[in-house]
Structure 1
Amino acid sequence: MTKISVLSGNKTIGGTFIRIDDGEKVLVFDQGIRFDIFRRYYTDWIIPLGVMELRKLGILPKEEWYEHVQDIYITHLHLDHLGALSNIPKPISVHMPGRTVYEEVAKKRWERSPSWLNIIPQSYYVEIQDVQPLSEDKNGVLPIPVSHSAFPAMAYVYFGKDKTVLYTGDMRVNGYLDKRGVKKLRGGPSLLEYMADQHDIHIDVLLIEGTNFGSDRMPISPEDSLEIIKKIITHNDQVIVTTHYLDVEFLLSTIKLARDLDRGCYVLSEPVAKILHMLGINAKINVVEEFAVTPEYSSITLQEVFEKPSVLIVSYYEIVDLCRKAGKIILGKNVASIITEPEPSAEEMVEYEVVNRWLLRSGIQPYRLRVSGHYYPYEIYKILKTIRPKQVIPVHTEHPELMKVVNSDYSCFN
């Protein structure tokens, strides 16, 4: 009998840990960090002593949860799903999308971190394997690409002995890319497009995230956000756009928008430049030499950037340094900054009020824009109609009861 246990993440955003026991086969889907607990015990100056302390506080999964587990499947590289790989207590194969992104960009960044983030990379006995989109593996697990604010991201279908289980991970219904762009970037159609064409796959149990249920934020679509950014770019000399280095869909759309508006596009982040190169993006992009040294792209000075209308792409780590170095360069210029909110924000520890003060001190108009990596509550009808599950288990939400109320017509909610 296929047994599904949501050991963490059934009434919290993040920290998801789903265990499936199916005879001799034991699999885990995601093993994230509980940032809701993390914030109760730690600050900028009170930091974790290590994995054992985090485990005792319930921030990391318990050691016994890994008993008999052979394989772990990670949906994407946000830490509330990836978790601390060093917390895995025994030799286990970890399957993740974007192994190269992890090893060449994310892992190196975490290893160099002076903070607690240096515990994220795996121990020597943990094997990392890349997942292949739309290719069922030896465990009967089928990865399906999804749109999210971290690239790449996957949902997983598990074909068990007596149940077929679908776990969405984090996902958007409508992303930044058209169908052609989706297939080119992600290696296959999106989850809903794929499931709509697969009439022979019958989902018994759907484990679905519900991040935006209970949120009072206005549901801004990717299309809406690009229209807003277009207006800001059009009415300013220079626009500074912040992005999480894993938010590739947003990154590519911003570059295209700058190109369509005949604006120079400049990257002030080495991780962002590396991601673009790994994806084979050969657009006319320059890196700003004061912030990034990447031989794959031509470099330009900050002074030169501000001599003509332009879009500057930075990560959250470079924005304050940009304010410090810009100095007199931007005097008399009409400069705006669009601060997109990262997901999960706790991972980045971004202090928006502090960043805003630096921007205002530099004479830069700040704007905050939340570009959600999650579907909105009204879109769940489309998801359920497409997937047609027999049973639904909400995860990654603070309001599972609201998901049931909104979908009262569906008796499959558990």
Structure 2
Amino acid sequence: TKTFVEVQQRLDDVNSKLHETVSGAREIKSFVTELDELEKFDQVNDNYMKANIKVHKLMSLLDPAIVLISNLAIAAVLLVSSYLASIYTGEDKVQLVGNIAAYISYLQQIILSLMLLSMIAMFVSRGEVSARRINLVLRTVINITNPENAIKPGIIGEIEFKNVSFSYNNVNENDDKLTLNNLNFKIPKNSIVGIIGSTGSGKTSLVQLIPRLYDVTSGEVLIDGVNVKEIDLEYLRKNISYVTQEAIIFSGTIDSNIRQGKVDATKEEIEKAAKLAVADEFIEKFEAGYKSPVNQGGANLSGGQKQRLALARALVRKPKILILDDSVSAVDAKSEALIKDNLRTLKDMTVLIIAQKITSIKDADYIIVLNNTGGLDGFGTHEELLETSEVYKEIYNSQLGGYHE
């Protein structure tokens, strides 16, 4: 079994390396590292070949061993039979010939069954290894579940963090490895809020706590005064649209991608969402319009087009809370400004925007500033933070060369 485990592990390595190489083909070509990557793949492939050879060496010993045992058994029957033939006479001797043929036939049937059993044993051993690996996934304990008495309150969009600390490793709340550390702030409903901080400060981790993609280590995340852990999980997520850093686009059509946000969306709703996301500009240039095909991963779309399409998908469901995780970074300045203006026109929606550039969020109603330890360095308007937040002033100075306009 250990040998079969090694084979599966080596096969995983081959598949992972192959996927990595194919998906990174442009980077490999641009850096002219084809030979280096080929050598790496050869190494991984050689390890897989060696593991397979080891398995087949072991399995190749079974058939010869079974054949040897069968021949020895037949030889033993013939040896005993020759002795009996020397002492039997008359009819007994004649019957002995039939008995010998019968015994040899029985032995051959038994040996054939053993050979088939050895082949089955090989497949069972390999299957056992695969089954164990599948069971690791199937038996994974789900740590984010619906409460027994889950509620479905009418979500308005007010968000509050009370003494929230979070770690991916479930460490103690007093540990220095916390990703988010003792956050306290309250976001009014229907406001636009920017979130900024240095790389690794926990911006994405913060917004992922709202739709319960993760649960807090300590403290509470409240929506309209209700702990998110008490709200029905499906209902909660239906009222939140989350646009990730990397725009995930599915193969199909532009229409089918937008409909993933709302399956029963009307044509008017789809077109309105596309217009709000400034995606209608490039969609209308396609000959088939909203029925234009989209390749896997959106390979036939530019980075900015994919981001705008992902935003349209989020807007079509008309969520009460919209989370944009640096999701317009590939959009040109003109389109970004139009998107921000369009978001201002939306009513009954709280918008959270994670950004790397201050210019993307300085006009927000409120701005959350995180420091390097995942703590709250500031919460307020652009003008207030220039006076109260050291982190915000440092970012502003580095990007715009001074904090007095």
More strand by share: 1
The TM-score normalised by the length of structure 1 is 0.29
Task: Please tell me whether Structure 1 or Structure 2 has the larger radius of gyration of its CA atoms.
Answer: 2
Q: Structure 1 or 2: larger helix share? A: 2
